[in-house]
Structure 1
Amino acid sequence: MAEAYAVKKGIEIAIKRKLAKVIFETDCKEVQTAIPDPGISKNWRIEPIVRDIRALLDQILEQKLVWIRRSGNAAAHWAASEAVKGMCHSGWLRLPPSSLVFILDKDGVPAPPL
Structure 2
Amino acid sequence: MLEGCKFAKQQGCAHIVIESDCREIINALQQSISRGRWHVYPMLTLIKEIQAEFTECSWSWVPITANLAGDHLARIAMSRMSPSFWVNRPPSSLIGILNKDGLPCPPQY
TM-score of the pair, normalised by structure 2:
0.90
Match of 1:74 among 68, 93, 98: 68
Aligned to 1:4: none
Distance 1:59 1:87 in 2: 25
Distance 1:22 1:55 in 2: 14
Where is the helix percentage greater, Structure 1 or Structure 2? Answer: 2
The Cα of 1:38 is off from its aligned counterpart by: 3.2
* Aligned amino acid, residue 92 of structure 1: W
Please tell me whether the aligned partners of residues 20 and 61 of structure 1 are also in contact (alpha carbons under 8 angstroms): yes
Unaligned runs of 5+ in 2: none
Match of 2:84 among 84, 90, 96: 90
The Cα of 1:18 is off from its aligned counterpart by: 0.6
Aligned to 2:38: 44
**How many correspondences in the alignment?**
108
Match of 2:50 among 46, 52, 56: 56
Unaligned runs of 5+ in 1: 1-6
* Aligned amino acid, residue 75 of structure 2: S
* Aligned amino acid, residue 63 of structure 2: R
Determine what percentage of the aligned residue pairs are the same residue: 31
The verdict on how the C-alpha distance between 1:39 and 1:29 changes in structure 2, with shifts beyond 3 A counting, is: closer
The Cα of 1:36 is off from its aligned counterpart by: 2.6
The verdict on how the C-alpha distance between 1:15 and 1:112 changes in structure 2, with shifts beyond 3 A counting, is: same
The Cα of 1:39 is off from its aligned counterpart by: 4.6
The Cα of 1:22 is off from its aligned counterpart by: 1.2
Superposition pairs of residues 15-30 of structure 1, within 5 angstroms: 15-30=9-24
Distance 1:39 1:70 in 2: 22
The Cα of 1:37 is off from its aligned counterpart by: 2.6
Please tell me whether the aligned partners of residues 79 and 88 of structure 1 are also in contact (alpha carbons under 8 angstroms): no
